[in-house]
Each structure stands twice: as structure tokens, then as C-alpha cells.
Amino acid sequence: MKLDYEDIISDLKKRIFKPVYFLAGEEPYYIDLITDYIEEKVLTET
């Protein structure tokens, strides 16, 4: 299943997580935004 930036962020905000995210593409900007969001909002320090 191919998801774009908006789809991934929308799912993450709804706390719908996929087992694996393979982030690739010619535009690293969106990859950085997604990884930053996951680090700041999804991952915990436990």
C-alpha cells in the first residue's frame, strides 16, 4: 500500500500505526517531517 505524507500524518494523529514504515523518495523534506512527528508525538521515553 502506497501512502503519501498527508495519509501517514493523518493516521499517526488518529493513533493508527502500521507495523513498518518504509520512507523513500526524492524529497527528503517530507521524510524528515514524518520522522520528526513520530519522534515527538508517538514515541515515548519508557
Domain boundaries, the chain: 5-42
Residue 21 makes CB contacts below 8 A (sequence gap 6+) with 8, 34, 38
End-to-end CA distance of the chain: 31
pTM: 0.85
Structure confidence at residue 1 (pLDDT):
80
Identify the residue with better confidence: 46 or 4.
4
Give tens-digit pLDDT for 16-38.
Answer: 999 999 999 998 999 999 999 99
